[in-house]
Chains A and B, each alone.
Chain A
Amino acid sequence: AQSVTQLGSHVSVSEGALVLLRCNYSSSVPPYLFWYVQYPNQGLQLLLKYTSAATLVKGINGFEAEFKKSETSFHLTKPSAHMSDAAEYFCAVSEGSGNTGKLIFGQGTTLQVKP
């Protein structure tokens, strides 16, 4: 069975500092991996995805993530945090583009950006 673990339910950084949000996954098949962002009282917005192409994936708003099979990780990074990055971030794994396409989500990480 697939699973996702996000290390750290809350991460706090200063504006301009590096953002690192950790995600480890478990999957018996080559996974598709996703990062979504959720602002208060809104739906989830796709930040980026890995679908077995390049292992370093660039997304919106300056975020990127690297798929490391040996470490079963898909950590999200941004070189310089902005106040507008404060939100909740979810990592998710999928069994692929198969018929159901179900996503398994991590518990989420709340990012706080301090001025």
Chain B
Amino acid sequence: SQTIHQWPATLVQPVGSPLSLECTVEGTSNPNLYWYRQAAGRGLQLLFYSVGIGQISSEVPQNLSASRPQDRQFILSSKKLLLSDSGFYLCAWRGRGRETQYFGPGTRLLVL
């Protein structure tokens, strides 16, 4: 069966520090991968998606970047965090040619 992992689960970082969040998927090949952010009291905002290794599409201009160095690995990064980067970050995957996205457990990021 397929599983999706995210780490760390919780992160507290100072403003201006770098960020690296990791997402990995097991049990499937060549998935579509997605990064979402959920700010307090708000819905889900799609940040990036990837249809293959090295292929990244950005949905909104921001302080963040994404990379996909391996087929089932998706990384969210920042060189310098802003207070507004605080939120709950969710990774999701979708099988190629399928319709459903499946979500990871999320990473809670607090920037102070």
The closest CB in chain A to the CB of B51 belongs to A99
With A101-B32, A103-B46, A107-B42 given, is the CB distance from A96 to B99 under 8 Å? yes
Q: Is A90 touching B98 in the complex (CB atoms < 8 A)? A: no
Interface-forming stretch among B14-22, B68-76, B102-110?
B102-110
- From 1 to 41 in chain B, residues with beta carbon under 8 angstroms from any chain A beta carbon are 6, 32, 34
For the complex, give the distance between the alpha carbons of A100 and B49 in Å: 8
Q: Mark B84-107, 1 if CB is under 8 A from A, else 0.
A: 000010101010011111111110
Q: Mark A5-42, 1 if CB is under 8 A from B, else 0.
A: 00000000000000000000000000010101000011
Interface-forming stretch among A45-53, A56-64, A66-74, A75-83?
A45-53
Q: Is B43 touching A90 in the complex (CB atoms < 8 A)? A: yes
Q: Which residues of B contact A90 (CB under 8 A)?
A: 43-44
With A99-B51, A100-B51 given, is the CB distance from A34 to B42 under 8 Å? no
A12 to chain B, nearest CB (A): 17
A residues within 8 Å of B by Cβ? 32, 34, 36, 41-46, 49, 51, 90, 94, 96-97, 99-103, 105-108
Q: Is A43 touching B99 in the complex (CB atoms < 8 A)? A: no
Residue among A45, A96, A105, A106 with the highest chain B CB neighbour number at 10 A: A105
Q: Is A108 touching B43 in the complex (CB atoms < 8 A)? A: yes
With A100-B49, A102-B49 given, is the CB distance from A43 to B43 under 8 Å? no
Query: Could you pull out 21 A-B pairs where Cβ atoms are within 8 angstroms?
Result: A32-B99, A36-B103, A41-B88, A41-B108, A42-B106, A43-B106, A44-B90, A44-B92, A44-B103, A46-B102, A90-B43, A90-B44, A94-B99, A96-B99, A97-B98, A100-B32, A101-B32, A101-B99, A102-B46, A103-B101, A105-B44
- Closest 8 pairs (CB-CB, A-B): A43-B103, A107-B43, A44-B103, A97-B99, A105-B44, A101-B94, A43-B105, A32-B99
Q: Is B43 touching A34 in the complex (CB atoms < 8 A)? A: no
B110 to chain A, nearest CB (A): 13
Q: Is A51 touching B99 in the complex (CB atoms < 8 A)? A: yes
For the complex, give the distance between the alpha carbons of A108 and B97 in Å: 27
